[in-house]
């Protein structure tokens, strides 16, 4: 049920992103609008024996450009991404932590899998030495998914609510929603929230290949992620992180902060149907979007844009299209509907946060990035997917959808800030 009590308004004042399309939020957004693919051959390990030999890797990332060697060595790649994105989000927000109450600031950052590279390397240590005594004492603290928000809080002295979410692909949308709810109810004045993932490793690629979930278009990696296109054959794995600074409106206005958008509505549901497939007709997604719109207290026709989960899987894209049509009726044909994953792949637990950044930027700038590789229409996917070229169009309100294995559904509604 939507929250009907007296609650505080939540706005987005800062964003940071480390993605396959760039190491900053601005570079990421610019390349999204340009329709650039971040896919290419895997370089982090020898993938020649794998069914899928490509991914959307973060390129040119040197943790030592952002943190000292000691910290870098004691953090898994996903945590490094999270720390850097958080630093950039705070800078983007212009939030001087010396002038705020750090007990009223918290961190919720999720990861769907956590330190998979750390686990892989420590497992190799056991195999090579035939014993457990060479395992690093930092193995567990580097691997666990909650270490990312822990590290961020320690780095900035933030002593408010602090934890991780894990709900597969919906992970960081749940983190963002939770952070907003904590601000609404008065438990915090500002929150750093989002997600981080770095699972482009042997077990990550091999595991999803075993599920037959990923594209095997090895001859054309840049064309492999093709959400809603008739010839889609699975998702492309990505990696990276995004962090948003959410603030209570009065807290932001008091310091004259730039406000990108207001977080207006949240919808969380479960399919209770299957471990990987969506419920028939996207029933759980229908309820999530309806809850987000109702929570925002706006008519459905005020929503102009949906950043879809849009994974490029045959079943998922069809179910999400059906869900959008059920929720919006005739208005669905007027919606801008796109998939960020067409360019950056699927960032798993970080997908919701990175796609939230894209959604907020669309609301802020009235621009909608394209869905690239859309070439052959699918009769069961018949909405306006903004094929291959960005559009300039008014976006008073937008929804970011993320739906995870296990039937976890999250829809977050952002709208233009109006005093």
CATH (domain of 400): 3.40.47.10
Number of CB atoms found within 10 A of residue 2's CB:
13
Residue 123 in any domain: the answer is: yes
How many angstroms separate the Cα of 335 from the Cα of each of 23, 307, 321?
30, 10, 12
Are residue 228 and residue 288 in the same domain, yes or no? Answer: no
pLDDT, residue 128, reads: 85
Q: What is the mean pLDDT of residues 286-311?
A: 98
CB 280 within 8 A of CB 415: no
- From 199, 231, 254, the end of a domain falls on 254
CB 196 within 8 A of CB 148: yes
Measured CA to CA, the distance from residue 73 to residue 71 in angstroms comes to 5
pLDDT, residue 5, reads: 58
Residue 145 in any domain: the answer is: yes
Phi, psi at 152, each rounded to 5°: -65, -45
Residue 169 in any domain: the answer is: yes
- 364, HSE (Cβ side, Cα atoms, 13 Å): 18
Residue 40 in any domain: the answer is: yes
Are residue 74 and residue 136 in the same domain, yes or no? Answer: yes
Look at residue 208 and tell me whether its pLDDT is greater than 70: yes
Phi, psi at 62, each rounded to 5°: -120, 105
Looking at the structure of the chain, the number of domains it has is: 2
How many angstroms separate the Cα of 376 from the Cα of each of 217, 325, 391?
16, 20, 20
Look at residue 91 and tell me whether its pLDDT is greater than 80: yes
Residue 200 in any domain: the answer is: yes
Measured CA to CA, the distance from residue 175 to residue 311 in angstroms comes to 20
pLDDT, residue 133, reads: 87
Q: What is the mean pLDDT of residues 338-361?
A: 98
Would you place residue 209 in the very low, low, confident or very high pLDDT band (cuts 50, 70, 90)? very high
Q: Which residues are catalytic?
A: 169, 309, 346
Query: Per-residue pLDDT tens for 166-194?
Result: 999 999 999 999 999 999 999 999 999 99
- From 224, 254, 284, the end of a domain falls on 254
Residue 223: which of 419, 31, 36 has the closest Cα?
36
What token pair was written down for 51?
Answer: 């069914």
Residue 67 in any domain: the answer is: yes
Look at residue 353 and tell me whether its pLDDT is greater than 70: yes
Residue 196: which of 286, 281, 107, 83 has the closest Cα?
83
Are residue 338 and residue 397 in the same domain, yes or no? Answer: yes
Look at residue 77 and tell me whether its pLDDT is greater than 80: yes
Measured CA to CA, the distance from residue 40 to residue 236 in angstroms comes to 10
CB 100 within 8 A of CB 31: no
- 307, HSE (Cβ side, Cα atoms, 13 Å): 32
Q: What is the mean pLDDT of residues 14-36?
A: 98
pLDDT, residue 419, reads: 87
pLDDT, residue 2, reads: 47
Are residue 225 and residue 273 in the same domain, yes or no? Answer: no
DSSP 278: P
pLDDT, residue 6, reads: 77
Mean of all residue pLDDT scores within the chain: 96
pLDDT, residue 57, reads: 98
CB 160 within 8 A of CB 142: no
CB 286 within 8 A of CB 407: no
- From 254, 288, 313, the end of a domain falls on 254
- 46, HSE (Cβ side, Cα atoms, 13 Å): 2
State the residue range of the domain holding 16. Answer: 10-254
Are residue 27 and residue 53 in the same domain, yes or no? Answer: yes
Measured CA to CA, the distance from residue 388 to residue 398 in angstroms comes to 20
Residue 187 in any domain: the answer is: yes
């Amino acid at each position: 049920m939507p929250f009907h009590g007296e609650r505080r308004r939540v706005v987005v004042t800062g964003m940071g992103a480390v993605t396959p399309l760039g190491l900053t939020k601005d570079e990421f957004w610019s390349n999204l609008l340009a329709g650039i693919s971040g896919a290419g051959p895997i370089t982090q390990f020898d993938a020649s024996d794998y069914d899928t030999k490509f991914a959307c890797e973060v390129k040119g990332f040197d943790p030592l450009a952002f943190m000292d060697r000691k910290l870098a060595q004691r953090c898994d790649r996903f945590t490094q991404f999270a720390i850097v994105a958080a630093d950039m989000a705070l800078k983007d927000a212009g939030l001087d932590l010396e002038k705020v109450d750090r007990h009223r600031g918290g961190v919720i950052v999720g990861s769907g899998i956590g330190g998979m590279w750390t686990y892989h390397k420590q497992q190799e240590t056991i195999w090579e030495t035939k014993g457990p005594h060479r395992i690093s004492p930092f193995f567990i603290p580097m691997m666990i998914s909650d270490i990312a928000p822990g590290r961020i809080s320690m780095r900035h002295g933030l002593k408010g609510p602090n934890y991780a979410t894990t709900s597969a692909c919906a992970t960081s949308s749940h983190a963002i929603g939770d952070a907003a709810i904590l601000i609404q109810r008065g438990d915090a004045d500002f929150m750093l929230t989002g997600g981080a993932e770095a699972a482009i490793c042997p077990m990550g690629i091999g595991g999803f290949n075993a599920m037959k979930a990923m594209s095997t278009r090895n001859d054309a990696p840049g064309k492999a992620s093709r959400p809603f296109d008739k010839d889609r054959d699975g998702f492309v794995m990505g990696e990276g992180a995004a962090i948003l600074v959410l603030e209570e409106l009065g807290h932001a206005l008091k310091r004259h902060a730039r406000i990108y958008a207001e977080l207006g509505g949240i919808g969380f549901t479960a399919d209770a149907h299957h471990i990987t497939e969506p419920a028939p007709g996207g029933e759980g997604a229908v309820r999530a979007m309806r809850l987000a719109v109702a929570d925002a207290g706006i008519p459905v026709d005020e929503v102009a844009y949906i950043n879809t989960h849009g994974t490029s899987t045959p079943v998922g894209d069809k179910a999400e299209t059906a869900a959008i049509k059920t929720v919006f009726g005739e208005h669905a044909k007027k919606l801008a509907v796109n998939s960020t994953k067409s360019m950056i792949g699927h960032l798993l637990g970080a997908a919701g946060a990175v796609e939230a950044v894209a959604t907020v930027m669309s609301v802020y700038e009235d621009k909608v990035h394209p869905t690239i590789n859309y070439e052959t229409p699918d009769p069961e996917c018949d909405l306006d997917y903004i094929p291959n070229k960005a559009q300039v169009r008014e976006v008073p309100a937008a929804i970011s959808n993320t739906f995870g294995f296990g039937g976890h559904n999250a829809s977050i509604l952002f709208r233009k800030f109006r005093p």
